[in-house]
Each structure stands twice: as structure tokens, then as C-alpha cells.
Structure 1
Amino acid sequence: MLTYVINIGEWLRRWAYLTPDKTAIIFEDEPFTYAYLNRQTNRIANMLTSLEVKKGDRVGVLLYNSLYYPEILFALAKLGAVLVPLNWRLRSGEMEYVLKDSGVKTLFFGEDFANVVDELRRSLSIGKDHYLCVGSPPGWAVSLEETIGLFPDDEPQLDELPGNEDPVIIMYTSGTTGQPKGAVLSHRKTFFNALNADIYYGLTPSDIMLAPRPMFHSGGLLVELCPVIYKGGTLVMRRRFTPEEILRSIEKHRVTILEISATQLRFIMEQCDLSKYDLSSLKVCYTGGERVPVDLLEEYARRGIIISQIFGQTETSTITWLNPKDAIRKRGSVGKPVFFSNVRIVNEDGKDIRPGEVGEIIVKDYITMNGYWGKKELTEEVMKDGWLHTGDLATVDEEGFIYIVDRLKDMFISGGENVYPAEIEKVLMEHPKIIDAGVCGIPDEKWGEKGLACIVLKEGEKMTEEEVISFLEGRLARYKIPKVIRFVESLPRNAADKILRRKLREEYLRGLREKK
């Protein structure tokens, strides 16, 4: 019986053989071919082999978007090692937890993050030769640029090709318990994510896609980078994009496909004059990852740019997509399930909902994660009878188009980043003046949603909003810090003593309406 091993590193090897001189990546306006990318990837793989990095080992990456990101990903894929992308917005304590929880033994980092890594390394079990710096290295690290040139660009030699259910990425998403959890993503899952994107983007090898999201994000890595390399297309990357640079890059490189966050779309609309740029090369534009205001979609439509929505989560990547031909008449919908997927919307009894009813989206097969790294019980909570329970509530119309209603989870999304109230509440409760705290997301025109913190002080204590924010600034990433602080006498709770976050939100919004 013929068996085929899916290894995403093979994409790069095959395109380097078939179309060696074709541009794979345009980074900071400089083109790099598939042959070049594959040679560099092999050098990194052979260097890691010399450091005894092997199948199953976890390797951390703390970089701004860089040509090294795809090279490291595919080098690890070829070896069967596992990429652990680090969100550079996290505080050092949050990064430390991710590095320790995943068991990272090798760390790639940019010179911009040397001070952060220096603070962390005292508590990590990473050897000196395993700190690999992009840029000017500190004395305790190795220069990646200087080191990889010492190694051959031949394909790494392995007794057996890794792949299929083997992990290739552990992507951390904050947990409702206050601790991040690592979604284990396999070669198989990543392959089917790319196949689905191939279909909904309508990808061809001649397509040019812009990647404005950070590569530590599922959107940047799995929705933008991987599908393009799988198809043999071209990806336009920058270290970091400003709104003006997004438009300039579309015009300069004749970008055909754009996948972008709603927050970035808002900033472009607020800060840029779209009429100054030739955006006629765009054939499709998608957005997802956070709540998208319908009026924003309408504003772009008036300017001739039709934006379709996709919907997904770290544990699955894209679950649904809205065909561009339906984007106008079904505005506000996230479309229908992707081709390679098994998606249902069920009620509390586990039965499929009828049109107009509300239920939870559950997903099976193809695109689901292996589980949460080192968290068997948590995995079993969300994976029931093979179905991954997303925690997202949705309804469906008579034609089968899906509309997101709310989340069973308490998570909200601010500026494209997942924010979990329990994590913030845990930190707030560490303050000696605070006796109780509840956090929820509220609508925001700029960020999609922002945090509202309702705080109960101990008897006789006084505190200002500025004091609360100052206390959080050294303990949480900036995007997690609530934008609105309220001091209240008590928090609404149910019979099980759980905070009723919806009431926090409703009371705040009612107060705003009354003021108007």
C-alpha cells in the first residue's frame, strides 16, 4: 500500500526544484527566490542538527516579521522539530511561562529583544549555543547570520521523513484560567488549512499576497504565509506595516490577494486617502479574527473595495469563508464552512440548529489541532467525541450562511488579539486595595472591542483609574490592559458565584445611552 507523508517543508523543496528562479518572498521590497529560500532553510536545518535539535524538540522564535521566519519554520518542519512563535507584545513574565510550559531548548530572537531575553535566560534551561540572535548578538548569544554560512545548503539527511500527525507548530493562546495554552498544530492540519485557503483565495502560482499580520499570529503564519508557499506564489512582507505602507505595497508590487485585520482596515480608512493609490490589482480582500463592523465594510464598498469575511480560531485556523460574490448581499455573514472541514452548529442538547436559532460552532477532522500541549484535561473539555467545541455562538439563515452572534467563552478580541478576562482579573486581585474585579469586552470603533474593568475596593480604600492602569502596565501586555475602569460596590454573580459579565457590559452601555 502506497502511503504519502505530508511534511510542509516539502513544499519549499519542491518549488525550489520546479521554479527555482521564481520570487517566493518580497521582504522590505527586495525579492528572494524559492531556490534562495530553500538553501537558507537547509543551512538553518543543518545548523540545528549540529546543535542536536531533533524530531519533537521545541524551538522558540521571538522576531518581528523577517525573512528568517519562513526559513526557520520550514527548517524545523524538515527536521520534525516544532516552532513555538512568541508574541512580542507579551511581558517578560508571560513569555517566561510560554517558554517553560513548551519546554523550549533553542531560541531564535531579534536584537531588538536582547534585553527581554537576557532577563529571561536566568530562569530558562537553554544552553549558550542555543541562543541564536538575528542582528548584533549580545555576548551570551550566537550570531545567526554568521553561523548559518558555515553550514551546507544540502537537504538535511533523516532516516525517516516526519509529518502527518507530528506537531509542527505550538501556537499559544491565552487561557480563561489565566494561563496561556499551547494549541498543537500538525503537518496534516497545516496542509489542509493551506488547501482550504487555496480554494477560498482562488490561489495560483502567479498570485502575489500581502502579509500585514505578525507571523506569531495564526493569521500571519497559517492564513497568509503557508498557503502562498504551498501554492508556489509570492508573499510580500515587511518588518512591520503602517497603514500607508500597506497601500503603497499593494500598488508597488501589484498585490492580488489581501488578508487583513479589521483594526488595520479601520486605521487605513482613518489615516489614508485611498484615492491616491492604484489598488486595481486586488482580486480578493478578506478580513477576520475579530468583530467587523458592517458600516466599515460598507465604507470600503463605496470606494469599490469588496471585503469578504473569514472566521476561525487558533485551534483550527479558518473554519468558514464568505465567497466574494456573496459579500454584498450577505454582508455581516462569515459565510459557509471551508471545503475540507466538518462543521456543525448545535444547541445545548448537541442537535443541529434550525435557521434563526442560535447554537455553538463545533468542528471535526482535517483542520483541528492535536490538543493543548501538556493539558490533557483541558483538551478533553473542548474535544468531545472528536468534535472541537469552539465556544462561539452563531446562527444560520435559510441559505446556510453563518452569522456570529456571541461567544460562550468570556474572551473578547481587541485589535485582533485575544484577551481573556480571567487573566486580567487574576492580576488585579493581586493589588492590596482590590477585593473583587470583573472584566469584559465592550464595543469600540477603533479596536473592535476594548476591555472594561469593574473593580470593588476594600472598605476604606481609595484608588484612581491611573493607579489601576499603572499597576497593570508592568504585568500585562498593553493590549490586555482595560481601556475603561469603573469602581463599583459589588459585582453581579450567579448562583454558582460566577461573574455575570454580560450584566457588566449591559450596565455600562445603558449608562452611556442615558448620558446621551
Structure 2
Amino acid sequence: MYENKPWSTYYPPELQLSYDYPEHNLADFLKKSARQYPAHKALEFMGREMTYTQLYEATCRFANALHGLGIKKGDRVAIMLPNSPQAIISYYGSLMLGAIVVETNPLYTERELLHLLNDSGAELLVTLDILMKRIKKVQPDSPLKHVIVTSIKDYLPFPKNLLYPLKAKKDGLTTKVNYTQGIHPWSELLGHASSEEIQVTINPKEDLALLQYTSGTTGAAKGVMLTHYSLVANTIQARKWMYQTEDAKEIFLAALPFFHVYGMTTVMNLAMYTAGTLLLIPKFDIDLILKVIDKKKPTIFPGAPTMYISVINHPKIHQYDLSSINICISGSAPLPLEVQEKFEALTKGRLVEGYGLTEASPVTHANMLWEKRKLGSIGLPWPDTEAKVVDLETGQDIPLGEIGELAVKGPQLMKGYWNKEQATQDVLKDGWLLTGDIAKMDEEGFFYITDRKKDMIIAGGFNIYPREVEEVLFEHPKIQEGAVVGISDKYRGETVKAFIVLKQGERLTEEELDQWCRERLAAYKVPRIYEFREDLPKTMVGKVLKRKLIEEEEKKSLSKSSSEKIG
């Protein structure tokens, strides 16, 4: 059934089932675009523009600067930056040298950062001046030998570069850095470095380009080993999927952070491969996003559901022209049907749901942009990507339409987990990656994610998939966001709790919401507890942190238990 690839029927003539993927350094994307389109605008950052020639020259300088500090092939270089020119320059500059990039979230706590640095063995870190206080605290207990410090103002146009320190001070941020031994100023380092090309010989299928750490929702974060080849392949797969796009003509709204593999592949790598223009957004701000769309006319806007939710619910949305947007692929979390329909009505562009995970560079599935699609589905496997659904216990293929664990295979898969052989063996089976996501496939080859394997709620012996309940919540006209988790219950084992964020100015009672759910869900799926909140905890990509919600509930339960014992 799966070997017959029923999804191939829906591939248009412009899209092939298989392609050849070049074996080269991932940084060659930038090198090739700089040679073919030297004067084309590569990026724009807060009013500052850089051409491909300028970007490539700066990247070569960074690579030479690293070489001067003793960094060599295989060394790990951590990057702790928001979307900015420096994030792109340090990423491709490290790859040119054959170093392994370790992307780091600027919001990481000291504990999270220390784990990442020690686990990866990173000897060099690139970061912002305003983050140095945190770096200083962890550096003595880490393998770091060098820290390269840059500032947002380094690539701001005049007079913003002069005003930035004043604004930072007003916001309570410290920009002053004590440049002692091992602490290097970005501008000075690059200013003295050669702009000559520097690139070492690599084996693209074996040598790592990236150590991308998972979110750590089930324990300490693991380093996913992604090769140059796997990232090159996934970038080209993305380009083939968007077959109506044109090289050197697309403008990417870079709101997804590059330190997340989704933004790294579908925004940064794809833009460099196609000589696109990146509109860099260092932090998601809905007012800024709408202004940028209205003035700069981006054509491609990869994002997460929360981003599109923010757009459609903005009180002044009709004051902005969003008609330039042609393509949006939503990932990182389930896309509610209502959000998809409203966003497309506003922009006249195409918003489709896709699917991926860090271990697959990350994309494996997406709905067709201009062909048949199915709302609520993650769509079809990408070129050269195989997919099947297997039994949760035995791992054997299961019949069509039944629910099991999604398994995928393709050139974009990881090599394994860094220094974790057993964890690698647990998820990689005969070339197949067990995703940990519960799914089904219909007779036409469209796949549906019903939930995370670990998010599934078992209440009174019934399996309950949070996404199904969340879809019902999203259909309510007064609800902006909702998240459903299982919490401990003495009688049922687990029970369903829903966290609700209402649209601005709306009011809704628990009784009204309970009635809404009972009309649309089997009784055992209906939430037993509702909690109305101002917002939900999220990652920088916009994925709801259900782990934090569950932790909050566990703390409440412990506190209640302690009070009862004292009483």
C-alpha cells in the first residue's frame, strides 16, 4: 500500500517524484547566488540593505576570522543571535570552514545554555552585547575559548546606529562589553580579516553542518546531527514544491527565527539558494510585521499558526495591503481550519499546512499550493520522501485509515543524535525515522496528524487526541487560541483540560463552552476543566509549550496535596 505511493497521482507535471541532489557544502548556495546575482539585494534589516556581493564578502571575512582564531573543520561554533545580518554571516562563514554550527536560542536560560555548550563541546560562541551578562556566568563552566560579540547597531543605517545605545539603555539593556582575552568585538575582527574565499574539502553526506538541539520536551535537549547533504536536499525539495516561484524575484518575510530549523531551511537556506531577498525581522511584532508587508511587499511568508492568528485578529488589519503574499507554508503546530480560510480571504494568497521535525531537516510533508489539497491534512510526502503508518507497539505497517505512528524516510533525515547511540537506535529503524507523531493516511495518500504520541491522553481507557478537541475550540467565534492537555485524575487516570484565550473584548462562560463541545464531541472527549488565560506559553516559533502547562498543573496538585496533609 505505502510502496505504491498513492500520493504520486496528485503530483502535477511540474513536480517529479525524485531528483538528484548535489553533494556540496551548504554554504555554496550563497556562493553561487553571489556569482550569478552580485548586485541583487540579499537582505534588508531595519532599513539597511546588503547585496549578495556584500553578504558573501562579509561571510568570507568571518570564515577567515574564525580560521585566525584556530577554528578548524569539525569544531563546533555556537550562534546565539536573532534574525540579523550577523546570523546569516556567522552561519555560512562557519560552514565554509567546515565547522559545525550549533544554533542557540537567545532566550535560553543559563541552565539550558550550559547544557547545550557542554553537550556540543562548542569552543566559540557568537552573540549580542546585550546577552553577555548571561554568557559571562556560564563561560567558566563551559568549553568556550572564544566569544565574538556583535551589536544590533553594527548593521543599522545612520542615524539608527547612533540612537540604538540610547534605546537599549532606556529598555534596561546593557551594551557595554569588557573585551578581555577571548572576548572579541565583531566589527574589529571582521575589519582585519581577509575577504578571500576560504573553504575546506568536506564529505557532504557524512560531515555535519549542524547540531540542532530539540526542544527537550521529554528531558534534556538532544543534538540532532544534520549533514550538509540532508540540509541541501531539504532546501531543494522546498524549492521544487514551490515550482511557480522564480529565482532572484521572491521576497521572503523572515519572521521565523533562523535558530529554529524550520526558519533556517524554508527561509534562510531557501532564500540563499534561489537568490531571494530576506526581510529580516529580529523579533515577532505584529504591528511591525503588518507594516513590513504593506511597504516591502513580500511574496513568501513561512510561519507558524500563531503568526497567522495574530494577523487575522489584528484590530486594524484592513488598513494594510497584504496582497503581495503568494505563498505561506505553516508548520511547527497544527493549523486551525478557520485560520487558514480567513488568512487566504485577506491576502488572496495560498496558506497550506506542512509537517516536519528537526530530525528531518525539517520538512517531509505539505499540502499542494496550487493543486488538490485537503483541509486538516498535512498533505503529501515531498519528492524522494517515503512515509507510512506503523503500529504503536509492534512497529509493523498497519492498514489504510488506521491510526498509528508516522514513519518517514528520505535524503533529509538526520545522521542521528549527538553522542546518544541508544536514542538514535530507538528512532532510526532500517533507514526509517519514527517521528513520535500519531497519524493516519487516507486512500489518496494524504496524511493526517492526530497528535503527538506523548501528548495522547488516556482517560478511562479511551485514547483522546488533543488536536481533535482543539479544532472544536478554534471553531468557536469567540476563541482566539486554545490548548488541550491531559492532567492527572485519580478516577480516570487522566482527564482533559482546556486552556482558552478569548478574542479581544469577548466574554464566554464555562457552561457555554461546555455546551459547545458536547454538541461536537463524544462525551469522553469533552474537557472536564476549562481555564481562561490572557495568553499561552510559547516557543519563539510560536509552538504552544504544553509541557509548561502540565508542569503548572503538577505544581498546583502538589501544593493542594501538601495543604490537605497539613490540614
TM-score interval for Structure 1 and Structure 2 normalised by the shorter chain:
0.7 to 0.9
- Are 1:409 and 2:409 an aligned pair? no
Q: In structure 2, what residue type is equivalent to 1:271?
A: H
Say which SS state the counterpart of residue 209 (structure 1) adopts. strand
Instruction: Select 1:343's aligned residue among 363, 376, 387.
Output: 387
Query: In 2 relative to 1, CA 411–103 (structure 1 residues): closer, same or farther, beyond 3 Å?
Result: farther
Identify the residue that residue 190 of structure 2 maps to in structure 1: 148
Letter in 2 for 1:449: A
1:485: which partner in 2? 553
Aligned partners of 2:113, 2:487: CA distance in 1, in Å? 24
- Which of residues 170, 173, 179 in structure 2 aligns to 1:139? 179
Residue 271 of structure 1: how far off its partner (Å): 2.6
2:114 paired residue number: 96
| Superposed CA offset, 1:106-162 (max 9, x none) | 0111112111101111211222xx11101253334211112111011000154x345
The residue identity in structure 2 corresponding to 1:334 is I
Report the Cα offset of residue 240 of structure 1: 1.4
Provide closer, same or farther for how the CA distance between residues 157 and 264 of structure 1 changes in structure 2, counting only shifts above 3 A. Answer: closer
- Confirm or deny that 1:257 pairs with 2:300: yes
* C-alpha separation in 2, matches of 1:27 and 1:378: 40
Q: 1:178 aligns with which of 213, 219, 228?
A: 219
User: Which secondary structure does the structure 2 equivalent of 1:481 belong to?
Assistant: helix
2-structure distance, mates of 1:332, 1:143: 49
Aligned mates of 2:113, 2:23 — CA distance in 1: 33
Gap change, CA 1:177 and 1:295, over 3 Å in 2 = closer
In the TM superposition, residue 101 of structure 1 has moved relative to its aligned partner by: 0.3
Question: Could you tell me which residue of structure 1 aligns to residue 442 of structure 2?
Answer: 397
CA, structure 1 residues 394+22, in 2 after alignment: closer, same or farther (shift >3 Å)? same
Structure 2 residue matching 1:224: 3-state secondary structure:
helix
8 Å contact kept, 2:77–2:122: yes
Contact 1:80 1:163 in 2 (8 A): no
TM score, norm. by length of structure 1 = 0.79
Matched, 1:34 2:102: no
Q: Which residue of 2 aligns with 1:366?
A: 411
Report Cα offsets for 1:48-105 as digits up to 9, x if no partner.
0011111110011111211111111111111110111111222110110011000010
1:469-506 Cα distance to aligned partner (Å, 9 max, x none): xxxx9xxx99553285364599xxxxxxxxxxxxxxxx
Amino acid in the other structure paired with 1:196:
Q
The 1:399/1:389 distance shift into structure 2, 3 A limit, reads same
Indicate conservation of the 8 Å contact 1:243/1:272, yes or no: no
Matching residue of 2:422 = 377
Question: Structure 1 pair 179/446, CA: closer, same or farther in 2 (3 Å)?
Answer: farther
Mark the CA change 1:103 to 1:342 in structure 2 (over 3 Å): closer, same or farther: same
Is residue 96–residue 199 contact of structure 2 (8 Å, CA) maintained in 1? no
Partner in structure 1 of residue 27 of structure 2: 9
Decide whether aligned partners of structure 1 residues 216 and 272 sit closer, same or farther in structure 2, where only a CA change above 3 A counts.
farther
Amino acid at match of 1:379: T
**Does the Cα contact within 8 Å between 1:263 and 1:448 map onto a contact in 2?**
no
Count of residues in correspondence between the two structures: 439
CA contact 1:333–1:402 (8 Å) conserved in 2: yes
Q: CA offsets per residue over residues 310-349 of structure 1, 9 Å max, x none?
A: 100111001101012357x611111000113222222344
Q: Residue 204 of structure 1 aligns with which residue?
A: 246
CA distance in structure 1 between the aligned counterparts of 2:90 and 2:80, rounded to whole angstroms: 11
Structure 2 spans left out of the alignment, 5+ residues: 1-20, 152-174, 458-465, 474-478, 491-536, 538-542, 560-567
Q: Is the 8 A contact 2:98 2:199 kept in 1?
A: no
Is 1:291 equivalent to 2:334 in the alignment? yes
> In 1, distance between residues paired with 2:489 and 2:196?
59
Matched, 1:189 2:222: no
Among residues 345, 363, 368, which one is paired with 1:318 in the alignment? 363
Confirm whether residue 449 of structure 1 aligns to residue 483 of structure 2.
Answer: yes
Code of the aligned partner of 1:110:
L
**1-side partners of 2:370 and 2:356: how far apart?**
20
C-alpha distance 306-200 of structure 1, shift in aligned 2 (>3 A): same
Alignment gaps of 5+ in structure 1: 413-439, 457-472, 491-516
Shift of 1:195: 0.8
Distance across 1 between alignment mates of 2:395 and 2:207 = 31
Residue aligned with 1:126, SS: coil
Contact preservation (8 Å) 1:288, 1:310: yes
Q: Classify the secondary structure of the residue corresponding to 1:60.
A: strand
The code of the aligned residue for 1:390 comes to: T
Amino acid at match of 2:230: K
* TM-score, normalising length: structure 2: 0.72
Displacement of 1:448 in angstroms is 5.3
Contact 2:23 2:229 in 1 (8 A): no
**Separation (CA, whole Å) in 2 of partners of 1:387 and 1:318:** 15
Whether the 8 Å CA contact 1:42–1:75 is kept in 2: the answer is: yes
For the structure 1 residues 253 and 177, does the alpha-carbon distance in structure 2 shift closer, same or farther, using more than 3 Å as the test? closer
Query: 1:450 Cα deviation (Å)?
Result: 6.6
Kept after mapping to 2: 8 A contact 1:109/1:134? yes
Partner of 1:82: 100
User: Which residue is 1:165 aligned to?
Assistant: 206
Letter in 2 for 1:134: T
Structure 1 residue 454: deviation in Å?
5.1
Counterpart of 1:405 in structure 2: which amino acid?
A: T
Structure 1 residues 93 and 377 mapped into 2: Cα distance closer, same or farther (>3 Å)? Answer: same
Residue matched to 1:387 = 432
Residues in 1 aligned to 2:115 and 2:480: alpha-carbon distance in whole angstroms: 30
Q: CA deviation at 1:411?
A: 9.0
> Residues 411 and 201 from structure 1, CA distance in 2 versus in 1: closer, same or farther, beyond 3 angstroms?
farther
Give RMSD over aligned pairs: 2.9
Which amino acid in the other structure matches residue 50 of structure 2? Answer: F
CA distance, structure 1, for counterparts of residue 76 and residue 444 of structure 2: 44
Cα distance in 2, alignment partners of residues 117 and 280 from structure 1: 43
Does 388-397 or 40-49 show the bigger shift? 388-397
CA distance in 1, matches of 2:489, 2:23: 54
The residue correspondences of 1:433-472 to structure 2 (distance < 5 A) are 443=470, 449=483
Cross-structure match for 1:511: none
